[in-house]
A = this chain, B = another copy of it.
Amino acid sequence: MSFFKKEINFLNLKEISDICAINLDSKYKNKKIFNTKNLHEATENDLTFFSDSKYINQAKKTKAKACITSYNLSEALPSTTIPLISNIPLINFYKIVNKFYPDASLDDENIFNKKNKNIYAGKNCLIDYRSKVGDKTKIGNNVIIKKNVSIGKSCIIGSNVIIENALIGDNVLIKSGTLIGQIGFGFKFINGERLRFPHLGRVVIENSVQIGSYCTIDRGSLGDTVIGEFSSLDNQIQIAHNVKIGNYCMIAAQCGIAGSTIVGNNVLIGGQSGISGHLKIGNNVKIGGKSGVTSNLEDGASVMGYPAVSIREFAKMRNSYEKKRN
């Protein structure tokens, strides 16, 4: 799933609990952990974390060998998963992820530029020879394509674009100046030191997506950031790490979507709108321009305002205000 190199083969639970200052029942101390995964992706070789009751259904079904969690939440875990009790489960989990993948919290500017003669690219491009670019894809000028990138067929990439850690489908249009696949904005201060969250994930841009200029689409922390097929983004849009956007969405200029929010299919978002993190926006939702969405939205909802309310309510408020005026 990740482009980044796992630097160590395994850690045992003794080592993990020492790093995190967690009390461990000594009978578990030699259990081996080979990787770090999300609750629903973890297997019996993996460590996971559970820090938000919103994910309780995933916790109940997790197959992880061990799980860093709080005392209260630990009850939900199946008996097959060893609970590691912590007051800061996410932070401690990230410490272990950074141990396995030390390079994933930074961007790598190192490019081995052996431009394949068959790539149709403009002037001054830096295209790592380990990246893949499909047939009939046209690349503008001053473009940087780094090693962990695969671009499909018949795409059009503008000038001054930078792409890293990304899988891009066919018939994708990316306009000039857009940045795809950088590390996201995530860290905590622990005793005055910045602990960077891991950014192991990728950006997945599906077929026939269209992306405007000067958008920033950050790569996922553990999972991926995804833009579904036929979705369209205008200019100057910020898509944070782990956002998932469905198919046939249209997002107007200067919108921002915060980390881990999931947007359904066929969603229309007006210009300068913002959506908070960790929300679920249904299918066929319409969000008026400049709205601030701060809660989940059901399929078919039409909302506007800050915080966003149904368009009917928004119009009522406006009408009542305008009556008072007259």
Residues of A within 8 A of B (CB): 106-107, 109-111, 113, 122-124, 126, 138-142, 144, 156, 158-160, 162, 175-177, 179, 182-183, 185, 187, 189, 192, 194, 208, 210, 212-214, 216, 218, 230, 232, 234-236, 238, 240, 248, 252-254, 256, 258, 271-272, 274, 276, 289-290, 292, 294, 305-307, 309, 313, 317-318, 321, 325
Contact = CB atoms under 8 A, between A and B. Distances in A.
Contact of A109 (B138, B144, B208, B325): B138
Given A179-B176, A213-B216, A109 B271 contact: no
Given A144-B159, A156-B106, A185-B234, A240 B253 contact: yes
B141 A109 contact: yes
A144 B141 contact: yes
B306 A189 contact: no
A84 B235 CA distance: 35
Contact of A176 (B182, B212, B232): B182
Contact of A126 (B107, B123, B158): B123
16 contacts: A109-B141, A109-B159, A122-B126, A124-B126, A144-B159, A176-B179, A187-B232, A213-B216, A216-B253, A238-B253, A238-B254, A258-B271, A258-B289, A272-B272, A274-B289, A317-B321
A252 B258 contact: yes
B144 A142 contact: yes
A142 B182 CA distance: 17
A278 to B, nearest CB: 13
B175 A177 contact: no
- The secondary structure that dominates the A interface is loop
Contact of A162 (B109, B159, B189, B276): B159
A306 B271 CA distance: 13
Nearest to A217: B235
A238 B214 CA distance: 10
Nearest to A272: B274
Contact of A253 (B142, B156, B185, B189): B185
Nearest to A187: B232
A318 B313 contact: no
A277 to B, nearest CB: 9
A276 B271 CA distance: 9
Contacts of A248: 189
Contact of A216 (B111, B208, B216, B235): B235
Contact of A254 (B141, B144, B254): B254
A313 B325 contact: yes
A272 to B, nearest CB: 5
A109 B177 CA distance: 13
Pairs of residues from A and B, 10 with the lowest C-beta to C-beta distance, nearest first: A109-B140, A185-B234, A290-B292, A216-B235, A238-B253, A272-B274, A254-B256, A213-B216, A109-B122, A274-B290
Contacts of A124: 124, 126, 142
A123 B142 contact: no
Nearest to A123: B126
